Chain A
Amino acid sequence: MKEEKKKSHKPRWADLDLSNEKLIKMYKDMLMIRRFEERSAQEYGKGKIGGFCHLYIGQEATGVGAIAALRENDDFIYTAYRDHGLALARGMDAKGCMAELFGKVTGVSKGIGGSMHFYDLSKGFMGGWGIVGGHPPLAAGSAFATKYQGRDSVTICFMGEASTNQGVFHETLNMAQLWKLPVIFICENNGYGMGTAISRAMAGEHLFEKAAGYEMARGAVNGMDVIEMYREMSIAIDRARTESLPTFLEARTYRFRGHSMSDPGQYRTKEELEEYKKRDPIETFAKELIAEGILTEAEIEAFDEAIKTEVDEAVQFADASPQPPLEMLHENVYA
């Protein structure tokens, strides 16, 4: 009996193109983001990182699940300023990312961009934008460009839920649907636009229905679940690639830290935070991978040690790297 049951059991991702290797990579990517961001917070506290620093802790499944569904070389990614985690998920080197936070010339934007402005054109990572709601039309523009050139690339655009109250967000959705652009808008709904709860900022209850006025394919997905993110994104990406149609996805997620490093988060209760921490996307995925026999606890611990070492090396690299030379002040204003 027991043997039979085991045979008939299939993991919930059995219908997806997810090899064990890929599942493990997704897990490691999430863990890397967590450890990188924890360390960023420490280094910020030490004064090694300046300015604003928006951490991705709690939202790892959204970014990793979405980006894992993309092609590696010729798809494009745009995001708002909470961009460290997404850059890491796209395979940008932890050393270059940490060095950017440290304002060093070895950073992904040579220390010129900073926390909010990570870029890597060679990986289709198009930034890293600091104005809430400012970048969605740019993402539609990349989708426009690839379609114009007859390529089957897709562009995905991460944004916070607060950006959907901006006018240009609506302008973008309108044109994306009107012109049938291969773009996917991933609204990371973490419940708060800085310190303002969504219920105090948005009329209406169902955020994803904002896309209904444009008759765009739309839906909500559990952004704390990397498999569900991957599943919904795969559908949306297929729609974009084969039919050249946009999608609006509301990923329901939660950030475990403040809006930025300067935010103690007094606008939400401890109970709410604890409730979400029980749904920690990394811990729940680890349990599932162990239950499915894909990983052991020992392996997971070994990954964690290796990732911590990698983050450690990234910090050492960033610390030892030089600041940009003074002559860089005037470089790259014009092509």
Chain B
Amino acid sequence: MAVLQIREAINQAIAEEMERDPGVFIMGEEVAQYNGAYKVTQGLWKRFGDKRVIDTPITEAGFAGIGIGAAMTGIGIRPIVEMMTWNFAILAFDQIMNHAAKARYMSAGQFKMPIVFRGPNGPAHMLGAQHSQALESMVAHVPGLIVMTPSTPYDAKGMLKAAIRDDNPVIFMESELMYGIKGEVPDEEYLIPIGKGDIKREGTDVTIIAWTKMVAVALKAAEELEKEGISAEVIDPRTLRPLDEEMILTSVRKTNRCVIVEDSWPYASVGTEIAHRIHTKAFDDLDAPVEKINSADVPMPYAENLEHEALPSPAKVVAAVKKVLYR
């Protein structure tokens, strides 16, 4: 088994799918000749050429829309649209929310929408408010979209391959700070189905739910908690819409306590929805209300100390776990 960085795992997924299906292409800012702003598309232009690895102007709404139109034409095209970051994709939200997400429904099922929008999401480091924000709640809100958030190289590759093969618009949210993280990736082909979560660490006393970067924060907290004799289960839904509700409820029914960790803002977040579902569907199994750890409810400041203060941390998660354990 090879040890790959997340960027390499994503690169492999794209290359393998392009190899498998000539209708798959990738476009975005700097994806071709520059080899990707975060080097995710390294070598793809050389390998597949101008036709299938396409540098776009800086015009997110425009090229998102071109991808959508290409996908819905129904002649075997499966675009992968790279957003340099999801911050910039906000410009394309009309295309994604009003067009990609709704074409199938409005036409009573006439169109398929086999398109993936992917790129890094969530706070990075000292980039200030416009370049540091987690936007999964905004897209997860929209029926018609699928939202995937990988946390390991293994997950990233298997999930992206499934996303590319799917006939729905998939929002695939990575993280700038995780592209260099390494992990084992099998040499043989595998897919991770949409909507299938994963238990990242088994435990018995409390369930910690986290995705993307926050999985590492949750695992670090779990290590700390272990030293104090508290056994935390860390689960990663991997897909935020549709949600692996069964995995979440099964875990909470076992541990009876739950903390959700997300680096998006707290107001109307994905965690809010998950907490609501746990409260309504596993109420009798809970020994404490579900706790949520989020980024501070402010635009991200630049100053390092304030940024640190704003973000979820293992210490904050440990404190929340103790709260639900009444310790």
A residues at B contact (CB < 8 Å): 76, 78, 109-113, 117, 119-121, 126-131, 134-146, 148-149, 151, 167-168, 171-172, 174-175, 178, 328, 331-335
A335 touching B77, Cβ below 8 Å: no
Q: With A141-B65, A144-B69, A335-B112 as given contacts, are A109 and B75 in contact (CB-CB < 8 Å)?
A: no
Report how many residues on chain B are interfacial, defined by Cβ distance under 8 Å.
44
Judged by a CB distance under 8 angstroms, whether B36 is at the interface is no
Overall SS of chain A's interface: mixed
B residues at A contact (CB < 8 Å): 23, 25, 51, 56-57, 59, 61-77, 94-95, 98-99, 103-113, 143-144, 146, 166-168
Kindly identify which residue among A127, A136, A149 contacts B76, using a CB–CB cutoff of 8 Å. A149
Q: With A141-B68, A148-B25, A334-B144 as given contacts, are A172 and B73 in contact (CB-CB < 8 Å)?
A: no
Q: With A134-B95, A175-B59, A335-B113 as given contacts, are A141 and B66 in contact (CB-CB < 8 Å)?
A: yes
Query: Which A residues are CB-close (under 8 A) to B73?
Result: 76, 126, 141-142, 145-146
Kindly identify which residue among B72, B74, B106, B112 contacts A112, using a CB–CB cutoff of 8 Å. B106
14 residue pairs from A and B, CB less than 8 Å apart: A110-B108, A112-B106, A113-B106, A117-B107, A127-B103, A131-B94, A137-B65, A139-B69, A145-B75, A145-B77, A172-B65, A172-B66, A331-B108, A334-B146
**Least CB distance, A32 to chain B, in whole angstroms:** 23
Going nearest first, the 8 A-B pairs with the smallest beta carbon separation are: A141-B69, A137-B65, A171-B62, A138-B69, A110-B108, A119-B107, A335-B167, A332-B109
**Bound-state Cα–Cα, A331 to B65, Å:** 24
Query: Which A residues are CB-close (under 8 A) to B144?
Result: 333-334
**Bound-state Cα–Cα, A141 to B56, Å:** 13
**Bound-state Cα–Cα, A180 to B217, Å:** 48
Query: Which A residues are CB-close (under 8 A) to B109?
Result: 331-332, 335
A168 touching B62, Cβ below 8 Å: yes
Q: With A148-B70, A175-B57 as given contacts, are A137 and B106 in contact (CB-CB < 8 Å)?
A: no
**Bound-state Cα–Cα, A127 to B72, Å:** 11
Kindly identify which residue among A109, A127, A171 contacts B59, using a CB–CB cutoff of 8 Å. A171
**Bound-state Cα–Cα, A136 to B74, Å:** 18
A168 touching B65, Cβ below 8 Å: yes
**Bound-state Cα–Cα, A110 to B65, Å:** 25
A131 touching B108, Cβ below 8 Å: no
**Bound-state Cα–Cα, A262 to B51, Å:** 48
**Bound-state Cα–Cα, A38 to B143, Å:** 36
**Least CB distance, A174 to chain B, in whole angstroms:** 6
Least CB separation from B76: chain A residue: A149
B72 touching A131, Cβ below 8 Å: no
Least CB separation from B63: chain A residue: A175
